[in-house]
A and B are shown apart, each in its own frame.
Chain A
Amino acid sequence: MSARNRELMALIPASLLLTAGFAAIFIQQSERLSDVSLTYGAIFLLLCLAGHFLIRFTLPYADPYVFPLVSVLACFGLVVVYRIDETLAREQAQWFVVGLALFAATILLLRDFRVLERYRYTIALVGLLLLLLPRVPGIGQQVNGAYLGVKLGPIAFQPAEFGKIAIIIFLAAYLRDTRQVLVQGRKLGPITVPQLKHLGPLLVVWGAAMFMLVFIRDLGSSLMYFGGFLALLYVATNRLSFVAIGMGLFALGAWFFASTVSHVKDRIEIRNNPFNPDWVEKEGYQIAQSLFAQADGGLFGTGFGASLLRGPSGETLIPAPHTDLIYAVIVNEVGLVGACGLLLVYLLLIERGFKIAMISGDSFSKLLASGLTAVVALQVFVIVGGVTKVIPLTGVTLPFVSYGGSSILANFVLVALLLLVSDRARRPQGATARRGLR
């Protein structure tokens, strides 16, 4: 079976999953089976088919598993969001349509993604501006102490979601150029120390991460960016010493700010002891409720739509259940087994991402694919780790699953880039890129 047909077949289980999920929620909510679940399933299948045919005609050699895996995540997220709030699910579905359009636009406009290399500094600048937008007075928004949102009139979005892609593109382009010189540093015993002039830009990235920690006040996103940077640095140079130096610097900075900046300090304090009576009903409420919900779920969960979501006055027990803490709702309803299944889907997607990087022929493609993949992996780790009290809880979305327009749009662009790299890497020798639709 050809790669494209495998992709087509793999979309069917995703649609069935969505249909079954909606059916379960309808049964739970109104104790009757509604054919609306079939309608939702059909619409979703149509959207998937649209994506599939787009890929079939424009990127015929692209990895056949990436899109179905993303579909599974998206449909799972849609079911959970629907269970939390019907209106949000409708908006989420609309975002999927827009996201798919952006996906198509990215593929069609960037047929040769290597042009991105040429605009690396412009892209870096755009990325940094995006990260700083939330601190611009008038449009920036502070949520839970962190500056992550921007509100321009009626449109609210989280620029950091797009910023991460810009930064990865820049780093991939920059490291492709400098990886050779970075490796040829001075030898100090077993450690290679790169020359200062090459190290400079990297120190700038480190500084940017620290800056974000203080300026954006978000440990999670700075961990994500800096982790993505270190991953790329390691892939580019194959020098663990660089990673060690980088981690040491980050730890040093994080420790310094953790002990001086009260916002970061509080987050760590709450993570270490969420049930302290001083804050369990206030700042620690999120993580405490998240853990209670997970304990309630147990091994198999309560079932879709059957968990206790709202208190007596209609407020949700878990704050922000559709965005940051969606993983807690998932564990509550489908249990440890379902949550492990979800993590497995992410792992499969990440595996495909690294696979694309490995079979790519040129350094830029390799670095771009592994960087984009690493940043997805880190984002999952940061938010799931926060919800499960592995690290301090910060406001990051669960890719493709959480509600949120910016998150969906940015991640569709990310997937489009991955597929572009993949198509180029898997294209048989001699075959030329087909232009436009056949």
Chain B
Amino acid sequence: MNGSIGRLFVLVLLLFGVLVFASSWWTVFGSEGLRDNTYNRRELLAEQLIKRGLIRADDGKVLARSPAQPQKRFGRRYPEGPLFAHAVGCTSIDRGRSGLEEYYNDPLTGRATNAIDAVSRLLGPSKVGDDLRTTLSEKAQQVATDALDSRQQRGAVVAMELKTGAVKVLAAKPSFDPNADDCGASLNLATQGLFPPGSTMKAVTASAAIDSGKYQPDSRVSGENGKEISGAPLNNFGNESFGDIDLTFALTNSVNTVWAEVGEKLGKRTMADYMERFGFYEDPPMDYPDAQMVPSGVNKGRRRLVRPTSDRVDIGRVAIGQGDLEVTPLQMASVAQTIGNGGVRMEPRLVQKVVDPDGRTVDEPLPEEAERVMSGDSAAKVADMMKNVVKEGTGTAAALEGVDVAGKTGTAEVNLQGLNDPWFIGFTDRYAVAVVFERVQGGTGGTIAAPVAKAVLERLGE
């Protein structure tokens, strides 16, 4: 009998081998798929046990905090409600995360993001996350939000610091209440809203014209109404006709036919080159979830944007912000920031530092240069032209006392019944701003958007 007992033990060994194999499969080799399984809520539930870090405005005001709840859990409250909802985002078990809550989830939940931290946290998993100090200005955000709320149309305002790309205002209407359960329910028009840029695009065309060396601010071009562009006549605003006028005058008075011709003469390659340098055709390099940002460019109704070099693109009309060109407010704020910053485009930044629970700064997302778009000299020339727009052109409503404001208005016609998307982009010596409203009856950039830009720039300048 002993032989069969021995063989029985061998069988038991084999069976236990199967158990060891199965255990190692689920714990090690096949665990990845289980962790990513949609029905696995462990990670989200585990995060509830961590006291997420605070999110603060640039002056230290708390925008998001984690009050303690029963069962050693933490909730998430946003004391400012809808004011910062798009920028800060929210976090919820059922709907996932958005905004900074998503982008900075690792530091907010105390997960080590660099080697030194990882070593110090080997001693035990941290139950308290790091705090975020954002670049957002509460006062300016409030001004922008009030201005957006004063109209019934949708719209967005983005403001940035010229030198650093620090985002001071990221406001979009409609907003939402992150404390309610509709986390992430609405689009962020500031980063996902696509609008025809209208004449604000002429700032890009002017930059390309001057920096390519083909034009100077005093180069003269015919501003005749009804000039043929790409085989179809193009009209000026109010069908006004001009003779040979210089580019400064043409920008100040936003003469379509001049800038369309300049765009055609520069050619698709040059225009494509400068648009890409300004950041068109790519997701903005902002510290914000990619899923909540869209690139700007020519949109022919397909999922992919059409390059300016394509045969289907009417580059003359793209040069004046038409021809199916669609841009985000963030992109146009970036254009203003670049010109105001001597031709250097900065990566937009929402967070200035990450602070650990002991008060040490563990990460400082420093100002990062995205690209030199043009020479400082060219940028200065374009800036001077844009200052003239505010001094005596279409953008006088943005003028501030004692501060030079440069700008460009835009009145993108949505249909022939006078529905327009009014735009304003501009900058002072410290801040750049972009403002847009959607479909305002008879509104122009100069009358509707410029005053909002002025209010925001004024508040930021205080």
Which residues of A from 289 to 315 have beta carbons under 8 Å from B?
Answer: 291-299, 306, 308, 310-314
Which residues of B from 1 to 57 have beta carbons under 8 Å from A?
Answer: 1-9, 12-13, 15-16, 18-20, 22-28, 30-31, 34-35, 37, 39-40, 42, 45-46, 48-49
A363 touches B1 (CB 8 A): yes
A308 touches B45 (CB 8 A): yes
A331 contacts the other chain (CB 8 A): yes
A238 touches B4 (CB 8 A): yes
A351 contacts the other chain (CB 8 A): yes
A236 touches B19 (CB 8 A): no
Known: A299-B27, A335-B27, A358-B2. A390 touches B8 (CB 8 A): no
In this complex, the interface size class of chain B, counting residues with CB under 8 Å from chain A, is 35 or more
A312 touches B23 (CB 8 A): no
Please, how many angstroms separate the alpha-carbon atoms of A350 and B8 in the complex? Answer: 11
Chain B residues with CB under 8 A of A347: 12-13, 16
| Chain A, Cβ-Cβ closest to B15 | A381
B16 touches A354 (CB 8 A): no
- Least CB distance from A303 to B in Å reads 9
Chain A residues with CB under 8 A of B61: none
B71 contacts the other chain (CB 8 A): yes
Chain A residues with CB under 8 A of B77: none
Chain B residues with CB under 8 A of A281: 39
Segment among A18-26, A68-76, A338-346 that sits at the interface with chain B: A338-346
Which of A293, A336, A385 touches B18 (beta carbons < 8 Å)?
Answer: A385
A354 touches B26 (CB 8 A): no
Chain B residues with CB under 8 A of A380: 16, 19
A388 touches B19 (CB 8 A): yes
A224 contacts the other chain (CB 8 A): no
B71 touches A310 (CB 8 A): yes
Please, how many angstroms separate the alpha-carbon atoms of A336 and B29 in the complex? Answer: 11
Interface centre among B3, B16, B27 (most CB of A within 10 A): B27
B4 touches A234 (CB 8 A): yes
B12 touches A385 (CB 8 A): no
Chain B residues with CB under 8 A of A231: 8
Interface centre among B26, B39, B71 (most CB of A within 10 A): B26
- Least CB distance from A257 to B in Å reads 23
Chain B residues with CB under 8 A of A98: none
Known: A291-B34, A358-B6. A298 touches B48 (CB 8 A): no
B22 touches A388 (CB 8 A): yes
B73 contacts the other chain (CB 8 A): yes
Known: A310-B71, A385-B18. A336 touches B23 (CB 8 A): yes
Which of A340, A366, A370 touches B20 (beta carbons < 8 Å)?
Answer: A340
Please, how many angstroms separate the alpha-carbon atoms of A280 and B8 in the complex? Answer: 37
Known: A291-B26, A354-B6. A377 touches B15 (CB 8 A): yes
Interface centre among B3, B20, B73 (most CB of A within 10 A): B20
Which of B5, B23, B30, B49 touches A340 (beta carbons < 8 Å)?
Answer: B23
B8 touches A234 (CB 8 A): yes
A384 contacts the other chain (CB 8 A): yes
Which of A275, A312, A336 touches B27 (beta carbons < 8 Å)?
Answer: A336
Chain A 351-364, CB-CB to B under 8 Å as 1, else 0, gives 10010011000010
Which of B13, B31, B37, B71 touches A298 (beta carbons < 8 Å)?
Answer: B31
A295 touches B31 (CB 8 A): yes
A312 touches B26 (CB 8 A): no
Please, how many angstroms separate the alpha-carbon atoms of A312 and B45 in the complex? Answer: 7
B48 touches A295 (CB 8 A): no
| Chain A, Cβ-Cβ closest to B73 | A312
- Least CB distance from B81 to A in Å reads 24
Chain A residues with CB under 8 A of B20: 340, 343
Please, how many angstroms separate the alpha-carbon atoms of A374 and B3 in the complex? Answer: 15
- Least CB distance from A341 to B in Å reads 11
A294 touches B42 (CB 8 A): no
Chain B residues with CB under 8 A of A357: 1, 5
B1 touches A236 (CB 8 A): yes
A317 contacts the other chain (CB 8 A): yes
Which of A275, A295, A343 touches B26 (beta carbons < 8 Å)?
Answer: A295
B16 touches A308 (CB 8 A): no
Chain B residues with CB under 8 A of A313: 71
A366 touches B39 (CB 8 A): no
B8 touches A374 (CB 8 A): yes
Chain A residues with CB under 8 A of B4: 234-235, 238
A421 contacts the other chain (CB 8 A): no
- Least CB distance from A260 to B in Å reads 28
A288 contacts the other chain (CB 8 A): yes
A389 contacts the other chain (CB 8 A): yes
A308 touches B49 (CB 8 A): yes
A343 touches B27 (CB 8 A): no
A350 touches B9 (CB 8 A): yes
Please, how many angstroms separate the alpha-carbon atoms of A310 and B448 in the complex? Answer: 55
- Least CB distance from A360 to B in Å reads 9
Chain B residues with CB under 8 A of A314: 71
Please, how many angstroms separate the alpha-carbon atoms of A355 and B35 in the complex? Answer: 42
Chain B residues with CB under 8 A of A295: 26-27, 30-31, 34-35, 40
Please, how many angstroms separate the alpha-carbon atoms of A377 and B12 in the complex? Answer: 7
Please, how many angstroms separate the alpha-carbon atoms of A48 and B4 in the complex? Answer: 34
- Least CB distance from B150 to A in Å reads 41
B8 touches A296 (CB 8 A): no
Chain A residues with CB under 8 A of B73: 312
Chain B 323-344, CB-CB to A under 8 Å as 1, else 0, gives 0000000000000000000000
Please, how many angstroms separate the alpha-carbon atoms of A331 and B20 in the complex? Answer: 11
B18 touches A390 (CB 8 A): yes
Known: A275-B37, A347-B12. A311 touches B45 (CB 8 A): yes
B16 touches A346 (CB 8 A): yes
B24 touches A336 (CB 8 A): yes
Known: A280-B39, A390-B22. A366 touches B16 (CB 8 A): no
Please, how many angstroms separate the alpha-carbon atoms of A297 and B31 in the complex? Answer: 9
Chain A residues with CB under 8 A of B13: 347
Chain A residues with CB under 8 A of B24: 336
Interface centre among B5, B19, B31 (most CB of A within 10 A): B5
Known: A291-B26, A292-B42, A331-B27. A366 touches B15 (CB 8 A): no
Chain A 370-411, CB-CB to B under 8 Å as 1, else 0, gives 100010010011001100111000000000000000000000
- Least CB distance from B7 to A in Å reads 8
Which of B16, B37, B49 touches A381 (beta carbons < 8 Å)?
Answer: B16
Which of B1, B16, B49, B125 touches A235 (beta carbons < 8 Å)?
Answer: B1
Which of B5, B19, B28 touches A354 (beta carbons < 8 Å)?
Answer: B5
Please, how many angstroms separate the alpha-carbon atoms of A374 and B45 in the complex? Answer: 41
A292 touches B34 (CB 8 A): yes
Which of B5, B30, B35, B125 touches A296 (beta carbons < 8 Å)?
Answer: B35
Please, how many angstroms separate the alpha-carbon atoms of A298 and B281 in the complex? Answer: 42
Chain B residues with CB under 8 A of A351: 9
Known: A295-B31, A350-B9, A363-B1. A308 touches B42 (CB 8 A): yes
Q: Which 4 A-B pairs have the closest CB atoms?
A: A295-B34, A388-B22, A295-B31, A294-B26
Further pairs besides A295-B26, A313-B71: 10, Cβ < 8 Å? A291-B34, A336-B23, A339-B27, A354-B9, A358-B2, A366-B2, A377-B12, A381-B15, A381-B19, A389-B26
Q: List 30 A-B contacts (CB under 8 A).
A: A234-B7, A234-B8, A281-B39, A288-B37, A292-B34, A292-B42, A293-B42, A294-B31, A294-B34, A295-B34, A295-B40, A296-B42, A299-B27, A317-B42, A335-B27, A343-B16, A343-B23, A347-B13, A351-B9, A354-B8, A363-B1, A367-B1, A377-B16, A380-B16, A381-B16, A384-B23, A385-B22, A388-B26, A389-B22, A390-B22
Chain B residues in the interface with A (C-beta under 8 A): 1-9, 12-13, 15-16, 18-20, 22-28, 30-31, 34-35, 37, 39-40, 42, 45-46, 48-49, 71, 73, 93, 125
